Amino acid sequence: MASIRFDGVTKRYKDGTLAVDDLRLDIPDGEFLILVGPSGCGKTTALRMLAGLEEISEGEIVLGDRVINDVEPGDRDVAMIFQNYALFPHMTVYDNMAFPLRMRRVAKKEVAEGVRAAAQLLGLGELLRRRPNQLSGGQRQRVAMGRAIVRQPAAFLMDEPLSNLDAKLRTQMRGELARMHRRLGTTTLYVTHDQTEAMTLGSRVAVMRNGIVQQVGAPQELYRNPANAFVARFIGSPPMNVMRGALEDGRLRVTGQEDGAGVDVGGRWPGQTREVLVGIRPEDWRLGAEPAPGEALTLRGEVEVVEELGAETIVYFRHAAAAVDVAGEDDGIGETFAARSEGGGRLPAPGDRVAFHASASALHVFDAGTGEAVAAPLHAASPAA
């Protein structure tokens, strides 16, 4: 087992495309770190550079205490799990799992012991004589994990390992991955575009965009205290609602707010004056006729869709204040806000005009130009809020 360090790692392709830009990331021994971002953000390239499948243009990757830039993939002591599992079709499950050990000239008896142990851990005992094409998707996924485990590598690299599974199996395998990591404690770098996996699996999450790491932190920290509007929108489902506004000497105005009096933010951004994006999580809206004491922002909109998900209900409503094309990502939401409510009370129907209220402490404020968070929102400091 070992720590991993990306030290100013850059990947520039021949055509000049910058896939990864000055990546700096410290992954302590035993951590489960998630690299998450939209497709094309450079997360897989970063992983492949660590595996030795892509050359590193600049910077250093350190595994344990050695720089591995020029080490052959097979000598790096990392095991990778591929999105399509990459099982060898002509080999049985046993031979697939034994392959890395045989490549290392491990004695036959130890190979057998290693494979049996991994197979038992993953519940593959019955399947050892089968070929990959005789297995279901979940079983193939397990074999791929088994092939990585038997080697007892310094680190696991996983490239969207669950994305070929159906939703139910994905949830189940997510649990198994977490269990496996708890049991083995091997340093793991896990690449995904799925923010649910990012939130549930990792001890820390690094959000990437256009080759640049936007923020690294514990899942809840990213959720409560996003460093910029991109992270704010990327983490969380439905994404954070964002509207345009302005800070005028510490006073916040939200475009489209009816009374025009501005939001009383209780001195959270003293002395600040600038154009901003105002963000609010779906669960921070409260549906009601009139604002309760302490609720500083009220928007009235027309309900478009009501999604009843059982434990919670998501109400989508139109409001002209919704900022389209936040941070260059047109996610097609248009002028729609999402509000989450945990059941109870009368639900609105599509077409109803309703009022949504939020307290000032729930607001996130980002610079309209750079997208950077203007200041840490209060409720991050006091979890009770």
Partner 1 sequence: MTTEQQTLARPPAQQAPRPLPAVAQTSRAGRRWLRETARYAILIVASAASLYPVLWMLTVAMKTKAEYTQHPMSLPQSLNFDNFAAVLGNDDVLRYVLNSVIVVGAAVPLVTFTSVLAGYALARLWGRGGFVILFVFLFSELVPISILAIPLLLTVKEVGVENGALRLICVYSVLMMGFAVLLTRAFFRAIPEELREAARLDGCSEFGVFWRIMVPLARSPITLIAVITFIVLWNELFLAVVLLDSAAGRTLPLGLTEFRGRYSTDWPTVSAALLLSALPTMVLYAAFQSRIANQFSRSTTRE
Work out how close the CB of 57 gets to partner 1 at its nearest, in angstroms, rounded to a whole number: 19
The size of the interface with partner 1 (CB under 8 A), counted in residues, is 25
71 binds partner 1 (CB under 8 A): no
Handedness of CA 238, 243, 248, 251 (dihedral sign): negative
C-alpha triplet 187, 221, 179: angle, nearest 5°:
35
The Cα–Cα gap between 25 and 9 comes to: 9
The rounded distance, in Å, linking the Cα atoms of 308 and 347 is 9
Stretch that binds partner 1, among 51-59, 193-201, 219-227, 311-319 (CB under 8 A): 51-59
Residue 221-240 contact track with partner 1, rule CB under 8 A, x = bound: --------------------
d(CA 124, CA 329): 43
Rule CB under 8 A: choose which of 52, 226, 245, 282 binds partner 1: 52
Tokens linked to 275: 């154009």
C-alpha span between 224 and 227 (Å, rounded):
10
C-alpha of 46 from chain center: 15
Answer yes or no whether residue 82 interacts with partner 1 by CB under 8 A.
yes
Beta bridge partners of 278: 243, 365
Task: Choose which of 80, 180, 206, 280 interacts with partner 1 (CB under 8 A).
Answer: 80
Which residues, 6+ apart, have CB-to-CB distance to 38 below 8 Å? 193, 209, 234, 329
Q: Which residues in 87-106 contact partner 1 (CB under 8 A)?
A: 88-90, 99-100, 103-104
Toward partner 1, which CB reaches closer, 72 or 342?
72
Instruction: List, in order, residues 6 or more apart from 13 with CB less than 8 Å away.
Output: 19
Binding of partner 1 at residue 293 (CB under 8 A)?
no
The one segment of 6-14, 79-87, 235-243, 370-378 that binds partner 1 by CB under 8 A: 79-87
Tokens matching residue 327: 């941070």
How far is 226 from 366, CA to CA, in rounded Å?
Answer: 10
Least CB distance to partner 1 at residue 141 (A): 14
Binder to partner 1 among 27, 41, 46, 78 (CB under 8 A)?
78
Segment near partner 1 (CB under 8 A); pick from 23-31, 35-43, 86-94, 244-252: 86-94
74 binds partner 1 (CB under 8 A): yes
Between 12 and 131, whose beta carbon lies closer to partner 1?
131
Tell me how far apart the terminal alpha carbons of the chain are, to the nearest angstrom: 40
Nearer to partner 1 among residue 79 and residue 265 (C-beta): 79
Q: CB of 113 within 8 A of CB of 106? A: no
- Give the CA angle between residues 178, 165, 282 to the nearest 5°: 70
Which position among 18, 71, 86, 378 is part of the footprint of partner 1 (CB under 8 A)? 86
Q: Is 73 in the site for partner 1 (CB under 8 A)?
A: yes
Instruction: Please tell me whether residue 56 binds partner 1 under the rule CB under 8 A.
Output: no
Q: Quick one: tokens of 164?
A: 């070929």
- Of 50 and 216, nearer to partner 1 (C-beta) is 50
DSSP bridge partners of 58: 10
Cα(88)–Cα(98) distance, integer angstroms: 11
- In the region spanning residues 29 to 48, those forming contacts with partner 1, defined by CB under 8 A, are none
Report the nearest approach of partner 1 to the CB of residue 283 (Å): 40
What is residue 370's three-state secondary structure? Answer: coil
Distance CA 88, CA 74 (A): 17
**Footprint on residues 123-152 left by partner 1 (CB under 8 A):** 133, 147, 151
Residue 79 sits in the site that holds partner 1 (CB under 8 A): yes
Out of 18, 53, 212, 380, the residue judged to bind partner 1 by CB under 8 A: 53
Q: Is 84 in the site for partner 1 (CB under 8 A)?
A: yes
The site for partner 1 (CB under 8 A) is made up of 51-53, 72-76, 78-80, 82-84, 86, 88-90, 99-100, 103-104, 133, 147, 151
